[in-house]
Structure 1
């Protein structure tokens, strides 16, 4: 064990040229992901070929396949980034709300007033282009939604406990969390993908959150 530790400690740092190549690889990866994100959202997943993604990213098709084995792999990577960003935004709202319903309200505001209008490409990919794209993608979507629902569920239980109450049943928090994420998804899809009502998202979000808060209060004894 000590020998391994010694080898790690004596590993020489990367040279400047190696660091430069590492930065270039990371930048190239981000460029490819950005190109795929734009094309998936604008043209649709099926119409966005690997050749077109490579051309938009200004890399060779061979370089694109060096980073991703296929288009499905690209979509899964994008979904992971979108899911991480969304969980991070909503999770921060829950944590900063001092275990009150204000955290639920703030999370809703962030989703409708920050995430939706500022990340329309992510909305299109997450709620439209990733649907029905095979078992691998669907499993990844489910994993992300399960985590989001669990985040909301845990937040609801903490709020309930902090307020000295209890839910109507053992399933109440899970039912509410699933309903909240389902409502967020449907409202985003209906008002940003089916039609452009981005200018009204603030009002839509306020109505949705008022509805959600009322439901939470109804189920908490």
Structure 2
């Protein structure tokens, strides 16, 4: 559309340059009015397209939300075609989300198999499914929740949780590399996490509190003596 407008403008200017104002003034004015009218129409059409495209973004986001809700039961081919269209959207958030779901869709059969894998804790398999199709805002709290299970100050059974999670991640690496690749950074963080880090940090904080308390107790008598000396 922009190319057509430029071509018309070029034709208009070339035509006007070949006309003689002294004898073709009325014709020149008529052409000018026609050109301006057509240009206003073209600009109006461009604006209408832009408005229509912008108004389609909420619809696309809603389509993504609907797909997420039914992701595991939708017919594969139809969902794939819809996601392919959304992945080509001119909006980065829509396109990125659609591409993510497309990647997950290639592992849908593997996720179904994972759900019944006896070597992976069912709760971990379930949360992994949720994370895979959630928005970043929805997925991040779920990731943090799993990390919290490994922290001694949040879970008294952190050692059992660590054993179960590390075992599940090893299983993903061997048997479900496609699923593992979807969340590789986070899964590596979980796998390499050492609860001892939190224990040592808590000990450092406690030691600091003790030392601070002793300093306060030591300083109080001195402050009292200074105050007594000033008063008397």
TM-score, with length taken from structure 1? 0.33
Question: Rg: which structure is higher?
Answer: 2
Structure with the larger RCO, 1 or 2 (CA within 8 Å, 6+ apart)? 1
